Structure 1
Amino acid sequence: MNDPIMTDMRSAYSKALIHLGKENPNVVVLGADTTDSLKTSDFGKEFPDRFFNVGIAEANLVTISAGLAYSGKISFASTYAIFLPGRAVDQIRNNIAYPSPLGKKGLNVKLVSSHGGLSVGPDGGSHQQIEDIAIMRVIPNFRVLIPADTVAVSKLTALMAKEYGPFYMRMARSKTPLIHSESQNFEIGKGITLRDGSDCTIAACGITVRMALEAADSLQQEGISCRVLDMFSIKPIDDEILEKAARETGCIVTTEEHNIFAGMGSAVAESISESYPVPIKRIGAQDMFGESARDNEVPLLLEKHGITSFNIAKQVKEIRSKKL
């Protein structure tokens, strides 16, 4: 593959929020003392009366965003993934997801985190959030998204604003390669086929989508045809695209920057087991915490957990021998 164009998800999120703020006076943005890092402070410069930095108080961040949503606002609350959902699960569950005014499902709050996964290398294992998908996808009424690039961030931010109800979206800390064109359509609950193939399917999300495409390229040189899916919508997950992939390719490898338990790979396995069971291999953190890694060492940390294009290709070769 050609050298990718690298772009920053947080900058894309900031621009998308400002655009939404100009379109809709009910959009409000909240942060928890990380507003400069997440670049949501730019929204505050444009709309100071609709911007709230609550300080290092994540439970309050969630509760205040819920109160604003209950009063008719569209709340976007953001901080690092280790803090949101990490420090505020009770408030997320009981103050956002549980209330259902006028028969609606939950409140109109959009939780958007940054610094998710192992690639938050320098922050160390204590801050490398690898459990957030598991936490958020089991909370009723929440929808869970993991964009692969800045195009996805911008379009999903706009979609979240238009669709009523609670969302959780996780962004990466580091710059990410462009995967999608500006013309790409996104729909909640629908995956995207980035590359067709017949021998195996690679289902990926977030920063691992680029790895999946690289793995498919290398396998193609060996005569192995791989389908690549961007499963950015973890909940709801696209059962239809997964069943089709299972029937047509006969095996699936999933890859994510998350614990292999209860993450995207588990969601894929659950879906496939009820529609058209085929062999599945999950790549991700192997039920172990991360560790400190300087920025230039992050690839080594990901390699330790098998989150590389090389390992994806290796697992594809191995799982093909288990096809029914």
Structure 2
Amino acid sequence: MSTEQLGDMRTEYSKALVAVGEEDPNIVVLGADTTDSLKTANFGKKFPKRFFNVGIAEANLVSVAAGLAYSGKTAFASTYAIFLPGRCVDQIRNAIAYPSPGDKNGLNVKLVVSHAGLSVGADGGSHQQIEDIAIMRAIPNMKVLVPADSVTVSKLTWTIAQQYGPFYMRMARSKTPIIHSDSQEFQIGKGITLRDGSDCTIAACGITVKIALDAAELLQQEGISCRVIDCFSVKPIDKELLEKAARETGSIVTCEEHNVMAGFGSRVSEVVSESYPVPIRRIGVQDKFGESARDNEIPQLFEKHGITSINIAKTVKEVRGQKQ
């Protein structure tokens, strides 16, 4: 029987919001008719005058958050990833990222979403947000975070509450394996080396970090030593750590629960190609939409898209053969 400990990102986000709200009276929280699902309603119970549910109106959610931030508040706006940024890129760009009062870059709005990637499940391709990293990282002043587990969500909620500027953080719907200890520190713009290795680097973000660790374990049994990096900070990304990995391991495999077009793997490729080019292979959704899958079928959906430890291990072997 597995003793793997699981954590719920939405629960930890909710707890952290209440905690930061107790510390900072300028924290306000907004939702768009998904406050029970995202559990942000708990903040509203504690601080009803600082909680706003705008209903099914995501563009308005963003605009109201921008107005509150412009008046001096730190605004957390949350709903499902398919709706934010899906329905309101214009408002995010022009109402949050573009306005830069004084010497500041953007407004102090934190866009925190749930139900990202393929693991949404039965709602299918229309609700599986696999383009958001690409969209949000292309917007100036916007920082993009993709936590691997509930510990990361809790720590990053505190961090972004205390750091000025617009942030986008995507969470998974289902409970996920806990990767990090409570003592782990998280710094925006820095990655975390979870496992050292010399033959290849596996760089991952979000729930695929656990898959990357499982792949490294499989490869170790064959005598192949893999470094595993959690790149929870996609923008800004840890260029120094990635260049070091490229120099020391000679090849990189990336993994993400997102379209490989302009996503996390593309960002890694951009960084490495400009600093120390090595063979890179990107694992993720191969420029196609997802499809409906019940919770117990999610592993099959991931397998169909190659987001598995077995496929990572296979790809590592292939990319190592391309090393100079």
Q: TM-score, normalised by structure 1?
A: 0.99
Superimposed CA distance per residue, residues 168-215 of structure 1 (whole angstroms, 9 cap, x where no aligned partner): 000000000000000101000000000000000000011100000000
1:317 corresponds to which residue?
A: 317
Matched letter for residue 7 of structure 1: G
In structure 2, the residue corresponding to 1:25 is in which secondary structure?
Answer: coil
Matched letter for residue 35 of structure 1: T
2:10 corresponds to which residue?
A: 10
1:163 corresponds to which residue?
A: 163
1:84-163 alignment runs, 5 A limit: 84-163=84-163
Q: Distance in 1 between matches of 2:111 and 2:42?
A: 18
In structure 2, the residue corresponding to 1:35 is in which secondary structure?
Answer: coil
Matched letter for residue 174 of structure 1: S
2:59 corresponds to which residue?
A: 59
Matched letter for residue 189 of structure 2: G
Matched letter for residue 280 of structure 2: I
2:45 corresponds to which residue?
A: 45
1:295 corresponds to which residue?
A: 295
In structure 2, the residue corresponding to 1:13 is in which secondary structure?
Answer: helix
Q: Which runs of 4+ in 1 moved over 2 A?
A: none
Number of equivalenced pairs? 324
Q: Distance in 2 between matches of 1:174 and 1:52?
A: 25
Q: Distance in 2 between matches of 1:50 and 1:248?
A: 49
Matched letter for residue 173 of structure 2: R
In structure 1, the residue corresponding to 2:227 is in which secondary structure?
Answer: strand
Q: Distance in 2 between matches of 1:282 and 1:317?
A: 14
Pairwise CA distance, 1:290: 0.1
Is there any run of 5+ residues in structure 1 with no aligned partner, and where?
Answer: none
2:255 corresponds to which residue?
A: 255
Matched letter for residue 160 of structure 1: I
Superimposed CA distance per residue, residues 231-285 of structure 1 (whole angstroms, 9 cap, x where no aligned partner): 0000000000000000000000000000001111000000000000000000000
Q: Distance in 2 between matches of 1:271 and 1:75?
A: 31
In structure 2, the residue corresponding to 1:123 is in which secondary structure?
Answer: coil
In structure 2, the residue corresponding to 1:69 is in which secondary structure?
Answer: helix
2:26 corresponds to which residue?
A: 26
Matched letter for residue 314 of structure 2: K
In structure 1, the residue corresponding to 2:122 is in which secondary structure?
Answer: helix
Matched letter for residue 148 of structure 1: A
Matched letter for residue 199 of structure 2: D
Matched letter for residue 252 of structure 2: I
Pairwise CA distance, 1:3: 3.7
In structure 2, the residue corresponding to 1:217 is in which secondary structure?
Answer: helix
Superimposed CA distance per residue, residues 65-116 of structure 1 (whole angstroms, 9 cap, x where no aligned partner): 0000000000000000000000000000000000000121000000000000
In structure 1, the residue corresponding to 2:141 is in which secondary structure?
Answer: coil
1:207 corresponds to which residue?
A: 207
2:70 corresponds to which residue?
A: 70
Residue 192 of structure 1 pairs with residue 192 of structure 2: yes
Matched letter for residue 318 of structure 2: E
Matched letter for residue 104 of structure 2: K
Pairwise CA distance, 1:154: 0.4
Is there any run of 5+ residues in structure 2 with no aligned partner, and where?
Answer: none
Percent sequence identity over aligned pairs? 76
In structure 1, the residue corresponding to 2:126 is in which secondary structure?
Answer: helix
Matched letter for residue 167 of structure 1: F
In structure 2, the residue corresponding to 1:127 is in which secondary structure?
Answer: coil
Superimposed CA distance per residue, residues 93-150 of structure 1 (whole angstroms, 9 cap, x where no aligned partner): 0000000001210000000000000011111110000000000000000000000001
Go from structure 1 to structure 2 and tell me whether the alpha carbon gap of 1:223 and 1:249 turns closer, same or farther (over 3 Å shift): same
In structure 1, the residue corresponding to 2:49 is in which secondary structure?
Answer: helix
Q: Distance in 1 between matches of 2:218 and 2:282?
A: 19
Q: Distance in 2 between matches of 1:104 and 1:72?
A: 13
Q: Distance in 2 between matches of 1:283 and 1:293?
A: 20
Pairwise CA distance, 1:2: 6.2
1:221-300 alignment runs, 5 A limit: 221-300=221-300
Q: Distance in 2 between matches of 1:166 and 1:8?
A: 24
Q: Distance in 2 between matches of 1:71 and 1:298?
A: 43
Q: Distance in 1 between matches of 2:271 and 2:80?
A: 29
Q: Distance in 2 between matches of 1:314 and 1:175?
A: 27
In structure 2, the residue corresponding to 1:102 is in which secondary structure?
Answer: coil
Q: Distance in 2 between matches of 1:87 and 1:25?
A: 30
Q: Distance in 1 between matches of 2:241 and 2:44?
A: 40
Q: TM-score, normalised by structure 2?
A: 0.99
1:179 corresponds to which residue?
A: 179
Q: Distance in 1 between matches of 2:95 and 2:189?
A: 24
